[in-house]
Structure 1
Amino acid sequence: MSRGSPQRRRLRSMPRPHHQVVADGQTVDDISPHRLGERFVARGRPKNDTSRLPERLGSNLDGEQRLSAEPPVDRAPDVGAQKISPVAPPVGADSPGQRKRDQGDEQDQRKDCCQHGHHLHRFRWKAGLAGFVNPPGNRVDLNSRDSAQPARDATGTMTRSSGMSIVGFGREICGDLAAAERREWLCTNGVGGFASGTVAGLLGRRYHGLLVAALEPPLGRTLLVATVDETVAYDGLERRLSTNRWADGTIAPCGYREIERFALDGTTPVWTAAVADGRVEKRIWMEQGANTTYVRYRVLRARTALVLQLKVLVNYRDSHGATRGDGWRMDVTPVARGVRVIAFDGARPLLLLADHGDATTAHSWYRNFDLAVERARGLEAVEDHLHVATFRASLELGEALTLVLSAEAEPSLDGDAAWSRRTQHDAEVLDTWRRAQPSAEGAPIWIGRLVLAADQFLVRRPLAADADGVTVIAGYHWFGDWGRDTMIALPGLTLATGRGEIARRILKTFARFVDRGMLPNRLRDGGQAPDYTWSVGETLRARHELSASRPRYP
């Protein structure tokens, strides 16, 4: 399609949707359709506008409800499980340091780029801002009886009281496993920890999990809770809401088929699952400033009581590793409202609690999870996780169960209060931006989403000399705080969002590591000395000392 063709002119005249553009301070000038109605690629060029974006096309396709097979527990998958030949998923960077741009056909090559707050390029999700849009004809009423029921603006788009619209999609994506597992979500906690996964619910990366705790903030990232195996019993039916891929290629259970809708409420991922005429909503968020994840299940529609069973699968490993559970026994102890897990002597205790229902202990390894993205990258791709607790609760219409997964000593069990704190934090971030930027009042809603995404890169780095230290995470999932990346991203993440005080604290933090005029390339875990390798090389290159030394040291 040429730049002057009637088709391109027609596309550019279409109204702008909420889309997956992620920026740091540059503007985005061009949204090019890679298969119209499927996805778009953002190209950043300063001083251009975003006034001509094509509307994303889509439809709401009904999906078939099916009973999923039981998962394998120390055994082969059950007969009747769906067998899918693994197809190479989107390939990430070959190593954590590499960054790759998308290439080739949109159908065959769906490639990730590592996340960097100072780079502007397209990938599926960016610091909680997954690349999700709200296609026409796909605005599904969540039928919530909760007081937080979304309102609708003049266009019919669902909004919360903060004015931030909800973006999402229905069965045409959620019911397509290949499409749903390509789309990833991310929640962060402001101290370096995160929760992450796929829309389909299956684990695709070693970095996916419900609680990846920063035990030495902002680093020391440790996978503590991998996933929850979810079963709903309602009106004589039983449905498995989880989805797993096993090492032999089997998909079991196939809970993605039950997902009616996925949406982002601010930075919070929200699923709506259908069980007959019943509807169950699940949302995941993290406590700001704490290694605690909340998973809330609420009954949106039901004629009778609905019984929820949740099996929590845990681990205790470095976020870059993989676990085989042979011979490993964890200490699992009942406590009030749940269980406490100690993986080994000296390990940080893990609390698994619920504000409703009963909890029982367990100790059973679920073996041979297949991590498709890691397999495509040529890394160890088979892993085991330990089932340590089962929570059961009977819920009536409008009732909720909040699961609390925490590495903190005394996490709050009040799910309503925890959700209020999450929404209040996001609202304060947006209010700060609006006060600082007069143009924010009429800005597109997706700009506000970028402001929330920017906040997720800003994390605490407490130091012995400065307990209020702040730094910038160079990218999720595997990057820490890098000096060069921090300085490049600083204006877009802080000054453009009205957070000058945060910028001052970041500069003050890095000033403590200046050595002979050099900022560190990266800060390390566990009090190790900073790495200045890149800074030394750039200094020599700037002074032309490398070229002068090559004749002597080729």
Structure 2
Amino acid sequence: MIKSIREVDDEWLLTNAFGGYASSTVGCINTRAYHSLLTSASSTGGVRVQLVNTLEERASFNPDESYYLSTHRYRDAYHPDGLNRMLSFGSDESGVWWTFKLGSNILLKRFYFNRWEESFRIEYSSGGEFSVEIRPLISFRNHHDVIKAGAVPYSVRSMDLERVAIKCEPWPLSLVMKLAGGGYKHESYWYYGFLYEEEAARGGNSVEDLYSPGAFTAKGRQVVFEAWVEPARRVKHTLKQTPLSTYLAFNPDPLIVAGYYWFWDWCRDTMIVLPTLYSSTGDIQLVDAILERYFNSMRDGFLPTGFDEAGKPFYNSVDTSLWAAYAVYAICGQTSSLSLALKYKGKLEEVFEGYKNGSMLGVKVVDGLVYHEAKGATWMDAYYEGVHYTPRNGFAVEVNALWLLLLKLLKSTTATTPELEQLQEEISEFKSSFNEHFPSAFGLYDTLRADLQPLDPHEIRPNMLFALSLHNDLVDGKTAIRVLESTRRELLTPYGLRTLNPGHPSYRPRYEGDRASRDAAYHNGTVWPWLLGAYVDGCLNYDESSVESTRYVIAPLLTLAHSKNYIINEVFDGEPPHTPRGCVAQAWSTAELLRITEKLSHINTPQSH
């Protein structure tokens, strides 16, 4: 029996510039169907194809004794016992590594994942000569799925003594593997009953069979195993490497992958990330290309919610166009120039007209405020089997805060007096209506019904913070303080903000279980790190003295972020120990933590005496 499994189930992730990735656990035991050493996207667009799931590895320093390096989780056992020999794990900019104690010898295994091409390389090395046998376990499947033995027809071709190429219909690519200076023996097996524990816990497909075409063998003080995709493609882009590089893909246009493993290209997430992407890279052409792709797909004033894995835009969000206005506004502030706003002035005016005309999602402007009829059309969009867990149809507080930002942005690009007067009237009417209807005893209501009464007068949600973070002139000081105080009392945790106050009947303390259970909790108590950006900005706008204490409250998250190069989970449980959940890497979590870390670094820390 393998010991200390739970000490080695932390996940590592490496990505490439196509949106492909490699990922597993510290112990090299795949706990998700998404775990693999090579998941490809270069030939298939947003459809990611899992190729090399894992390896069966064995090494020996003399003919009489061999040692497994690998361990797998099967339905009824852990096998073989390589984890017992693992000494350490580490990572650096180029990849991840492990050390193993094999008798009196130490073996180092280094895994390198190519950022600009779809390939990986594994180097095995030691002070003495050793032999190694490597048996790849492969699938050739959509990374959301699992396969069963015999369900997939593989075509295996030995290219020479040390290389083999594998194809599988319908995928338009080949997997090539090579053990330099070694040999390959075709000896195919199916390995049955791999159990993915995270998938089992999530109520998903958790048992899979994997195919091995044969075994590679070699001998030396250093042995190198490689795998790559053909046709080989390479991204040629000179870019400053930052934590956000993890999410940046060129497939073929530049895009931001919202989260690994299962998200692809989402507008809202992209627009929240773009200002930090610009500040960390200084690449205005890159940011502009991403903006242009979305604006060129606008329909009736509404930007797509995102692009699916086939590259087709889809439209079901009320706020994506307004988040695009936020991105333009923020980047203009960083550049001290309106050039980006002027370039997209016509598109932004289309947004304004689209909302005023009420062309999609039941949108209309009433007394200066934006109303939408469609359920689940904001970022709180959890939906499963006919149930909207946070419908929020009506006047949503953050949608309206974003609408005011659009009005201000349009005003800043307008030169004619009639247009300026019209926009000023819109702004004045908006502020008057907002401050008449949204303020509450705890700060601001989250959503108002069509009759401008609160949808739920007892729910306290973090969306009200955007009225403070996006503007310093929308609400009065007393209202702002109530918002911040109720946020600290009900929502603030060491890992982000809860999405609902714990005393509410819909509050869910844990994001766990099957799909229905998780969706019920997703925006009803689950903690989201990205929301800290709005909280910190709100404090800076209205209560700067409270910012210093926030640094200490979220110290556990900042420490975690620093240790993981700011590659942070999508969500955490609402209650201690605030277990990380959801995507293992979420773009807006990374972006907003980078942004607030920079802001907090400029806050003076009181000196002790």
TM-score by length of 1: 0.56
CA contact (8 A) 2:47 2:310 kept: yes
Counterpart amino acid of residue 23 in structure 2 = S
Distance in 2 between residues matched to 1:354 and 1:513, nearest whole Å? 46
CA distance 1:540–1:296, change in 2 (3 Å)? farther
- Matched residue SS, 1:390: strand
User: What is the CA-CA distance between 1:505 and the residue it aligns to?
Assistant: 2.2
What do the CA deviations read for 1:367-419 (whole angstroms, capped 9, x no partner)? Answer: 100000000011111001001131111112xx2x222222223599xxxxxxx
Distance in 2 between residues matched to 1:210 and 1:234, nearest whole Å? 26
CA contact (8 A) 2:118 2:233 kept: no
Give the structure 2 partner of residue 348 of structure 1: 173
| Structure 1 position 520 matched with structure 2 position 304 | yes
CA contact (8 A) 2:371 2:450 kept: no
**Percent identity of the aligned residues?**
26
- Matched residue SS, 1:324: coil
Give the structure 2 partner of residue 458 of structure 1: 248
Distance in 2 between residues matched to 1:501 and 1:231, nearest whole Å? 48
Superposed counterparts of 1:217-232, under 5 Å: 218-232=45-59
Distance in 1 between residues matched to 2:157 and 2:291, nearest whole Å? 45
1:238 maps to which of 62, 66, 84? 66
Q: If each structure's helix is expressed as a fraction of its own residues, which one has the higher value?
A: 2
CA contact (8 A) 1:187 1:267 kept: no
User: What is the CA-CA distance between 1:539 and the residue it aligns to?
Assistant: 4.9
Give the structure 2 partner of residue 405 of structure 1: 227
Give 5+ residue unaligned stretches, structure 2: 319-359, 374-393, 396-448, 456-609
Give the structure 1 partner of residue 284 of structure 2: 500
CA distance 1:269–1:534, change in 2 (3 Å)? same
What do the CA deviations read for 1:142-201 (whole angstroms, capped 9, x no partner)? Answer: xxxxxxxxxxxxxxxxxxxxxxxxxxxxxxxxx7321101x1111111111001100111
- Matched residue SS, 2:18: coil
Moved more, 285-294 or 311-320: 285-294
Give the structure 2 partner of residue 125 of structure 1: none
User: What is the CA-CA distance between 1:538 and the residue it aligns to?
Assistant: 9.1
- Matched residue SS, 2:47: strand
Count of residue pairs the alignment pairs up: 333
| Structure 1 position 307 matched with structure 2 position 307 | no
User: What is the CA-CA distance between 1:517 and the residue it aligns to?
Assistant: 2.3
Distance in 2 between residues matched to 1:333 and 1:293, nearest whole Å? 20
- Matched residue SS, 1:297: strand
Distance in 1 between residues matched to 2:26 and 2:197, nearest whole Å? 15
Give the structure 1 partner of residue 218 of structure 2: 393
- Matched residue SS, 1:496: helix
Distance in 2 between residues matched to 1:226 and 1:506, nearest whole Å? 32
- Matched residue SS, 2:75: coil
Counterpart amino acid of residue 366 in structure 1 = Y
User: What is the CA-CA distance between 1:491 and the residue it aligns to?
Assistant: 1.5
CA contact (8 A) 1:232 1:308 kept: yes
1:491 maps to which of 275, 280, 283? 275
CA distance 1:254–1:540, change in 2 (3 Å)? farther
User: What is the CA-CA distance between 1:532 and the residue it aligns to?
Assistant: 1.1
Counterpart amino acid of residue 297 in structure 2 = F
Give the structure 2 partner of residue 332 of structure 1: 156
Counterpart amino acid of residue 277 in structure 2 = L
| Structure 1 position 531 matched with structure 2 position 314 | yes
Give the structure 1 partner of residue 464 of structure 2: none
CA distance 1:288–1:346, change in 2 (3 Å)? closer
Higher relative contact order (CA 8 A, sep 6+): 1
CA distance 1:545–1:275, change in 2 (3 Å)? closer
- Matched residue SS, 1:247: coil
| Structure 1 position 361 matched with structure 2 position 186 | yes
CA contact (8 A) 1:273 1:281 kept: yes
Distance in 2 between residues matched to 1:338 and 1:320, nearest whole Å? 29
CA distance 1:210–1:543, change in 2 (3 Å)? same
Distance in 2 between residues matched to 1:204 and 1:346, nearest whole Å? 25
TM-score by length of 2: 0.51
| Structure 1 position 264 matched with structure 2 position 86 | no
- Matched residue SS, 1:543: strand
Greater Rg, structure 1 or structure 2? 2
Give the structure 1 partner of residue 116 of structure 2: 289
Distance in 2 between residues matched to 1:501 and 1:476, nearest whole Å? 25
Distance in 2 between residues matched to 1:545 and 1:489, nearest whole Å? 25
CA contact (8 A) 1:193 1:218 kept: no
Counterpart amino acid of residue 247 in structure 2 = F
Give the structure 2 partner of residue 180 of structure 1: 8
Distance in 1 between residues matched to 2:270 and 2:257, nearest whole Å? 8
CA distance 1:335–1:545, change in 2 (3 Å)? closer
